[in-house]
Structure 1
Amino acid sequence: MSTTRSATRHAWWVAFLSGMVSYLDAGAIVTTGTALVLYSEEFGFGIETIAPLSSILTFSIAVGALIGGRLGDRFGRRRIFIITLTLFAIGAAVLTFAPGTAWLYPGIILLGFAAGADLPVSMSMIAEAATDENRGKLVSFTHILWMGGVIAVNLLGALFGGLGAVAGRILYGHLLVIAIVVLVLRLQLPESKAWQTTATLMAVNPEMRGLRALKPLLSRRYMSALIATGVFYALVNIAANINGQFSTYMFTTVAGATVSTASTIGLIVTIVSTVSLLLLMRVVDGSHRMMWFVIMAALSLVAFMIPATIGVTVLTLVIFGVLYSIGGAVAGEPMYKVWSQELFPTSHRATAQGITIAFTRIVAALVGLYIPSLIAFGPSSIYYLMAATSIVAFVIGIFWIGRMPKATDDDPALRAEGESVSA
């Protein structure tokens, strides 16, 4: 009994320290959305600079995920997520002390790359520390940490938003401090035992370390899971990314509110979403998971249609924010995270997530470039876009991903590959 309790405590500790990248990822996205508005007053730029910088952040996360995921499968979870968090701290420092617009570009590139590279590796570390009985719960817990990042940034924005560029430096400085603290604590974590077992197999079969090691992902089973989770995440993330990066802009420039007001409303909405995540943690490992997914998907669609049909005002943005924060907590990125741990084996888990995260962030970056034009055409149009892309994502989740079998490390396809390589 004591051994079981110790293993459970260890799994939760791993989930916390590894999952803090979700806090930092959310913090980077929301901070950049707010800080760029604040920096624009001092550095003298407008939406024509804010939009590209936001897309650069998203694209950098994509590149980082693609590279970091593969390196995590090849060289281990612990080694990679220590390097990535170090890079994140450097990027946050550059943005905190940036003396002008030119410094924002390298800082955002470094911040995004590090967060993206850390995400698939850390999620895999959590999945491999968990059991079949609590894996979904632990992975879902990381999205509470993601919400924690949003709450912290919105709270700081509400408190210091009136300080202009100084507030932007406080927001990025907060990410710098958190990254350093988590980095120090991560140094104490041991490597994933599941990955160590896989590493032993790679040592016996050196050729499995190269591109041929990716062959199982091209099999019908894993390619189907790769395409399904990638398309689902890319489509459902369009709404989340637009909301995260342009929420402050919609409240202030379109609806006429102040940055402090926008941050205060964002803080309240995010707290509501966190409660919804607690619901997900209760149902995600049970038999009623998909029922709740369908309910929350419907609620998300209702949320999109309110500002789309009524118009963009402070009131409609508040109602949208509350409903979407509840629905998206279950029928959004948190479910993608759970599915990504279940549908891929240890040897390819981080690589698969790196590919799907990269694809998703590239799509988000490209879409983000056109959001200013859509806002100029009509602010309500972006909510129609959110609804359209989310409908397709929900259909994929319900009728495709929801029917896929879970992966195991003793999959015959993986053994066959190993045998063919060693032969």
Structure 2
Amino acid sequence: MTKSTASLEHAKASRTQWLITLYAGGGEFCDGYILSIIGVALPLLTAHFVLTPVAAGLLGAASLVGMFFGGLIFGAVTDRFGRQKVYIADLACFVVLSALQFFASEPWQLIVLRTLMGVAVGADLAIAGTIASEFAPQKSRGPLLVVLVTMFSVGAAIAYSVGYFMLALGPEAWRWMLASSAIPALLILTMRLGTPESPRWLLSQGRHEEAESVLKQMLGADATLADIEEPQGSPTGYMTIFRPEYRKRTLFVALFWACQLLPIYAIATYEPAILKQFGLAEGNTAYLGAVIIQIFYVVGSLSGALWINKGRRKLLLWSFAVSALPLLGLAIVAHPPMWLVLVLFAVFGLAMYSGQCLEAIYPSELFPTGVRATANGFATGASRVGAAIGVYGAPLLLAHSVQLTMLVGAVVAGLGWLVTLLLAPETNGMLLTQSSAVSLPSLPRTGAAL
């Protein structure tokens, strides 16, 4: 009798796989939302608490510090205890902590709450790319993870839109802005209930019957463990990702991710303030300008789906190279007209965000099941060092010069291009078992030069 199922890697992406990707992308949505809503709220918080630039930087960077610890710790926890349990628990914490921000009466209280929120989001980011990639077929993995990462941009755009309309609530509108993140978190938590455990992780733990049950749910009643194409004896343990055979990969994913997030987070957090310094200072027009730019960020993220299956390495090289140019232009033009400022920020968003999908793809493809979440968590944590530097340092640079701030962003994007050129492998077209193997198959290294 002919077998009616395709293997997990070769099947077409099903409705269930799309839903799992969207639910996993909820963490990315929350990441973009909380980062951007603090950007809208910070001017109000600064006025309410009379914050210095240093205090504003600490408040803006608090969630990133939490993400650092959340990623480093809970990636390994996820590899040990499973994707699904941590996947639910971190969102539940996020709902409670978001709501508590409404009642803050001192800046230190907000810093503590946003640090703890960051821990929860950092844990979620370590899981999101891992669980989505482990369910995704090979040909659909790139586009599916593009959708997952695009949720960050969608969250940021919605946060700016919500914040813009909440400005009408008055000087303490920041309370409603910050607490509003509890609503999408609760919605995402509700949708995630009932999400199956990763069959790859179950198999790596010797839980064969449970893994086969999930495969039958995904592929049909004829599915067997042979359809998972998962090798036995996947390495485990935190230090695995620092072994000689994985060390270069670990360095690469941490560095390129940090180089993406430093300018992204710095600009997203202080976009209204940056636009005001460029001359968009009448009323709330700076906030409206930020909303418009965020739309281009969403389009940029989605555009990654057009290029991701043409070469991971090539896409990342072009993303860094093109995104550096508009920031350089904003740094060297003394008094640019407002239309040019908006156009250059739009080009930056289209270019930088088109390669952001690789934050989920590369760590998931370069490491085996036993340490995949650990690697994702380490990359999440390490990259937030770059993001925290950007968020903490941006107000200090802006106090000196907006042009200097843009120049630093351009330099960081250039550094990301160099890291990619020297360290990035090509994993396009490979099964997870191939791309995560110690020795990658000999495929052409596309995009060796520009």
CA distance in 2, matches of 1:121, 1:388: 31
Q: Percent same amino acid among aligned pairs?
A: 21
User: Match for residue 417 of structure 1?
Assistant: none
Q: State the alpha-carbon separation in 1 of the partners of residues 298 and 62 from structure 2.
A: 28
Report Cα offsets for 1:115-172 as digits up to 9, x if no partner: 1111011211111110111111111111221111111111112222243444323322
Q: 1:300 maps to what in 2?
A: 323
Q: 1:324 aligns with which of 330, 348, 361?
A: 348
Q: 1:123, 1:139 within 8 Å by CA — same for their partners in 2? A: yes
The answer as to 2:77 corresponding to 1:54 is no
Alignment of 1:54-73 (within 5 A): 54-73=60-79
Change (3 A) 1:350 1:28: same
1:191 aligns to 2:197 (yes or no): yes
- Corresponding residue of 2:292: 268
Shift of 1:407: 7.7
1:349 aligns with 2:372: yes
**Structure 2 Cα separation of the partners of residues 288 and 74 of structure 1:** 32
2:260 to 217, 220, 236: 236
2:385 corresponds to: 362
Residues 96 and 252 of structure 1: is their aligned pair in 2 closer, same or farther, counting only changes over 3 Å? Answer: farther
**CA distance, structure 2, for counterparts of residue 398 and residue 244 of structure 1:** 26
1:324 match: secondary structure: helix
Q: Is 1:380 aligned to residue 386 of structure 2? A: no
1:290 Cα deviation from its structure 2 partner:
4.4
5+ residue gaps, structure 2, are 209-232, 440-450
TM-score by length of 1: 0.87
- The two structures, once aligned, show a CA RMSD in angstroms of 2.9
Q: How many residues of Structure 1 are paired with residues of Structure 2 in the alignment?
A: 406
Structure 1 contact 159–260 (Cα < 8 Å) conserved: no
Q: 1:124 to 1:292 in 2, by over 3 A?
A: closer
| Secondary structure, counterpart of 1:133 in structure 2 | helix
Match among 163, 166, 183 for residue 160 of structure 1: 166
Please say which of residues 247-256 and 354-363 is displaced more in the overlay: 247-256
Seen in structure 2, the aligned counterparts of structure 1 residues 361 and 320 have a Cα distance that, compared at 3 Å, is: same
The 5-angstrom pairing of residues 89-238 of structure 1 reads 89-200=95-206, 213-238=237-262
Deviations 1:173-226 (A, max 9, x none): 331011111112211211111111112289xxxxx99x9723432333311110
Q: Which runs of 5+ in 1 are unaligned?
A: 203-207, 415-423
User: SS of 1:284's equivalent?
Assistant: helix
Q: Deviations over 1:73-116 (max 9, x none)?
A: 11111100111111111221111332343421222112111111
User: Aligned partner of 2:287: which letter?
Assistant: S
Match of residue 418 from structure 1? none
1:278 paired residue number: 302
User: 2:446 aligns to what?
Assistant: none
State the shift of 1:239 in Å. Answer: 0.9
Q: Tell me if the contact between 1:157 and 1:259 (Cα under 8 Å) persists in the aligned partners.
A: no
Query: In the alignment, is residue 310 of structure 1 matched against residue 316 of structure 2?
Result: no
Distance 1:257 1:86 in 2: 39
User: Is 2:36–2:156's contact at 8 Å kept on the other side of the alignment?
Assistant: yes
- Relative distance call for 1:6 and 1:330 in structure 2 (3 A) is closer
Give the partner amino acid of 1:272: F
Deviation per CA, 1:289-339: give whole Å up to 9, x if none: 5444444333212211121011476445422320111001223x3222211
Asked whether the equivalents of residues 33 and 159 of structure 2 are also in contact (C-alpha less than 8 Å), the reply is: yes
Distance 1:54 1:42 in 2: 15
Larger mean CA deviation between 140-149 and 1-10 belongs to: 1-10
Give, in whole Å, the separation in 2 of the partners of 1:101 and 1:373. 19
TM-score of the superposed pair, with normalisation by structure 2: 0.82
